[in-house]
Amino acid sequence: MTTTADTVTIPSASISSTEGPWRRAWRQFLRQRSAIIGMIMIGLLAFTAIFAPLIAPFDPVQVLLGKEEGIKKRTGPCVHLLGCPAEQPEHILGVDGNFRDLFSRIIYGARLSLLIGFVTVAISLTIGTLLGSFAGYIGGWLDNLIMRMLDVLLAFPFLLLAIAIVSVLGPGLMNAMLGIAIVSVPAYARVIRASVLSAREEDYVLAARALGVAPVNILFGHIMPNAISPLIVQATLGIGTAILDVAALSFLGLGAQPPTPEWGSMLSAERNQVFTAPHLVFIPGLAIMLTVLGFNLLGDGLRDALDPRLKR
Partner 1 sequence: MAGRRVIAGSLLLMLLIPVLAACGSTPAAPAATTAPVVATEAPVAATEASAAEATEVPAAEATEAPTAEAPAAESQAVYTEGDLMAVAAKECGNGYTGEIKEIAATDASTVKFTLCTPDPAFRAKAAFNSFDILPAAYLESTGGNGDLLTKPIGTGPYMVESWTPGDNITLKRFDDYWGTKGLPETVVIRWSAEAAQRLLELQSGTVDGIDNPAPDAFEVIAADSTLQLLNRPALNVFYLGMNNTYPPFDNEKVRQAIAIGVDRQRIVDNFYPAGSEVASHFTPCSIPNGCTGDDWPAYDPEAAKALLTEAGFPDGFETTLEYRDVVRSYLPEPGRVAEDLQAQLADIGITAKINVVESGTYLDQASAGELKGLHMLGWGADYPDMTNFLDYHFGGGASKQFGNKFDDIVAALKDGASKPTDEERAPFYVEANNLIAQHVPMVPIAHGGSGVAYKADVKNAQVSPLGDEYFAAMDPGGRSTFVWMQNGEPASLYCADETDGESLRVCEQVTEGLLSYEQGGTAVVPGLAESCDPNADLTEWTCKLRAGVKFHDGSELTANDVVTSWAVQWDAANPLHTGRTGSFTYFSALWGGYLNAPAQ
Site residues for partner 1 per CB under 8 A: 61, 63, 65-66, 73-74, 97-99, 140-141, 144-145, 148-149, 152, 155-157, 160-161, 163-164, 166-168, 171, 252-254, 257-259, 269, 271-277
CB-CB contact of 44 with 96 (8 Å): no
Kindly tell me which of 29 and 251 has the beta carbon lying closer to partner 1: 251
Cβ nearer to partner 1, comparing 63 with 197: 63
Beta bridge partners, 78, equal 91
Helix or strand or coil: residue 74? Answer: coil
Is the Cβ of residue 74 or residue 209 nearer to partner 1 in the bound state? 74
Residue 21 CB, shortest distance to partner 1, in Å, is: 34
Q: State the number of CA atoms in the 13 A half-sphere of 213 facing the CB.
A: 17
Which residue, among 106, 121, 130, has the nearest Cα to 56 in the 3D structure? 106
Nearer to partner 1 (CB atom), residue 230 or residue 253: 253
Question: From the CB of 268, what's the least distance to partner 1, in Å?
Answer: 8
Contact 177/120 with Cβ under 8 angstroms?
A: yes
CB of 152 to partner 1, least distance (A): 6
Between 200 and 303, CB nearer to partner 1:
200
CB of 227 to partner 1, least distance (A): 22
- Type of residue at 245: D
Give the nearer residue to partner 1 in terms of CB position, either 148 or 312. 148
3-class DSSP state of 266:
helix
**Which distant-in-sequence residues (6+ apart) come within 8 Å of 66 by Cβ?**
none
Q: How far is the CB of 163 from partner 1 (least distance, A)?
A: 5
CB 254 within 8 A of CB 167: yes
* Distances in whole angstroms, Cα of residue 83 to Cα of each of 62, 71, 100, 258, 284: 26, 17, 22, 33, 24
Task: Find, among 302, 231, 223, 294, the residue nearest to 22 by Cα.
Answer: 302
CB distance 123 to 181 below 8 Å:
yes
| Least spacing, CB of residue 267 vs partner 1, in Å | 12
Quote the least distance from Cβ 37 to partner 1, whole Å.
Answer: 34
The residue type of 228 is I
Rounded to whole angstroms, how far apart are CA atoms 308 and 304? 8
DSSP letter, residue 220: I
In this complex, which beta carbon is closest to partner 1, that of residue 248 or of residue 287? 248
